[in-house]
A and B are shown apart, each in its own frame.
Chain A
Amino acid sequence: MLNKMIRPVKEIKETQNRYVAIESFGVKLKIFSDRKEILDEIEKRIAEILPAGFYKKIPARRAVHSFSVRRNRAYKYVLFKGKQKIEFGNEREIFLKYLDWQLRLTIAEFAVERVFLHAGVVGWKGKAIIIPAKSFQGKTTLVKELTKLGAEYYSDEYAVMDSDGFVHPFPKMLSIRGVTDKYRQTDTAVESFGGVKGIEPLPVGMILLTEFAEGAEWQPQFLSEGFGIMEMLSHTIPIRYNPEFSFKVLNKTVNRAIIVKTKRGEAKDFAGKVLSFFEDNAL
């Protein structure tokens, strides 16, 4: 009876080898696959989608969130996120891109003692500018232009805020569109266009709510704290999972910041206006 319950050491080792397991921002997750080459590729991609030093490998048994990668009889990819089944075609790159996003999203939603906001972030003279926005609204383009003017790069995807409302770096490579085609993103190091990464957590000086509109002029409107937080909620990843902590952190964040809303034209022209406005109103 006892013999049946005890698995051979060799079998356990083989099972463990079928996982990639990491911890990032206190979120412990594992990805299972019975195909070693897929796991190797996932492991390599993790090193690209998460900033260096922002995750560590852990034993699979410690993971809380679980992903499983399989291929069905039609040789199509199937992803299990916990018990949720998501079916794909047989395009490996599309599948892996989706998995990249899911892994980052899981970390952003369940991060311990941090609130992730979908936003670009730069630092300027000791304070942060947070630019919350959805995809395809020009976050990365604006962040890139700001860093070219000397702002420190913090993130083009997530503002990571702590319980005191300070923003921490999440310096992944910038995902720039228009390099290979109009829609596809190409990862680019901030150093490649002369930018530098910020290191220290910063108090937030300005929340900039903006989206591109052809020919738009810089016409900033100030928002009150409450209505500013309402605008930020649409970009707050853990708002449903942990609304109390999210509210608290957003409130701390806006306490020290101005909240400004404006349409914008070309990022190149706009970036300079943002920095001079920031210096006049938020420093």
Chain B
Amino acid sequence: MKSSQIPVARKEGLVVQETAEEVLVYDLASNKAHCLNQTAAFVWKSCNGHNSISQITKLFENEVGSAVNEDLIWLAIDQLNEKNLLDAELALNFAGRSRREVIKKIGLATVVALPIVASLTAPTSALASTSCACINPGACLTQTTCPSTVNCNGSGICAP
């Protein structure tokens, strides 16, 4: 029965940018950026509030021109749930199997790419432009590429 759940892609508070192969999504509330590969992007765009998981599976089969296990769509939904990219969280339907087991099973059986949603927290301007400048050792803790993350030296640099 769970396959009849209707997922809805979240639209509010997001900035969306399409590239040739992926879709990038920026969450204004959490300052997180997500990169959806083609499979994940297709599923996300198909979450229009009308398509059930079974229907999305069929749409995806038409798109890639081969049979697709419904678990593949659930894997995408699992990640979209986790990244807060759906309006409401869906109850997952992995029939008692772990995510790893599902990935293993699908990975062996499918010719299409597994859905991937890669994410990162956008840096503050200071972190994006880390200069290793410091006024005290505390300022070095987050400057992880500097020679030291614990010492602010006599020249005001996070270094020994």
Interface residues of A in 87-125 (CB under 8 A from B): 87-89, 91, 93-94, 97-98, 101, 104-105, 108-109, 116, 118
Q: How many residues of A contact B (CB 8 A)?
A: 45
Residues of A within 8 A of B145 (CB): 134-137
Q: Does B147 contact A (CB under 8 A)?
A: yes
Cross-chain contact A183 with B155 (CB below 8 angstroms): yes
Q: Is A226 an interface residue (CB 8 A)?
A: yes
Q: Is A134 a contact partner of B130 (Cβ separation < 8 A)?
A: yes
Q: Residue A213 at the B interface, CB < 8 A?
A: no
| B102 CB, nearest partner CB in chain A, Å | 24
CB distance from A138 to the nearest CB of B (A): 11
Indicate if A262 sits at the interface (CB-CB under 8 A): no
| In the bound complex, CA of A101 to CA of B24 (Å) | 31
Neighbour of A86 across the interface among B22, B123, B135, B159, CB < 8 A:
B135
B150 CB within 8 Å of chain A: no
Given contacts A87-B135, A226-B23, A234-B128, contact A239 B28 (CB under 8 A): no
Q: Is B124 an interface residue (CB 8 A)?
A: yes
Specify which chain A residues have a CB less than 8 angstroms from the CB of B20 in the assembled complex: 224-225
* CB of A251 closer than 8 Å to a CB of B: yes
**A240 and B19 within 8 A (CB):** no
Do B33 and A233 touch (CB < 8 A)?
yes
- Asked whether, in the complex, the Cβ of B21 is within 8 Å of the Cβ of A136, the reply is no
Residue in contact with A229 in the complex, picked from B15, B35, B157, CB distance below 8 Å: B35
Interface-facing stretch out of A27-35, A189-197, A242-250: A242-250
Total contacts A to B, CB within 8 angstroms? 125
Q: Is the CB of A226 within 8 A of B24?
A: yes
A138-B130 Cα distance, complex, nearest whole Å:
13
CA distance A182 to B128 in the complex (A): 23
Question: CA–CA, A182 to B159, complex, Å?
Answer: 10
Q: In this assembly, does A83 line the interface, its C-beta being within 8 Å of a C-beta of chain B? A: no
Partner pick for B120 among A116, A184, A234, A241, CB 8 A cutoff: A234
Determine if B133 and A240 form an interchain contact, defined as CB atoms under 8 angstroms apart: no
Asked if A136 and B35 sit within 8 Å, CB to CB, the answer is no
Report whether A136 and B147 are in contact in the complex, using a CB–CB cutoff of 8 Å.
yes
Any B CB within 8 A of the CB of A237: yes
Q: Is A238 an interface position by the 8 A CB rule?
A: yes
Query: Digit string of B22-59 for contact with A (CB within 8 Å is 1, else 0)?
Result: 11101010010101110000000000000000000000
B17 contacts A248, CB within 8 Å?
yes
Whether B22 and A224, one on each chain, are in contact in the complex, defined by CB atoms closer than 8 angstroms, is yes
Give Cα A79 to B122, complex, Å.
Answer: 26
CB distance from A206 to the nearest CB of B (A): 17
Contact residues in A for B118 (Cβ distance below 8 Å)? 227, 230
Question: Which residues of B approach A to under 8 Å, CB–CB?
Answer: 15, 17, 19-24, 26, 28, 31, 33, 35-37, 118, 120, 122-126, 128-133, 135, 143, 145-147, 153-157, 159
14 contacts between A and B (CB under 8 A): A93-B155, A98-B135, A135-B130, A135-B143, A183-B153, A184-B155, A226-B19, A226-B23, A227-B22, A230-B118, A233-B33, A237-B128, A239-B122, A243-B122
Could you tell me which A residues sit within 8 Å of B by CB distance? 86-89, 91, 93-94, 97-98, 101, 104-105, 108-109, 116, 118, 134-137, 181-184, 224-227, 229-230, 233-241, 243-244, 247-248, 251, 254
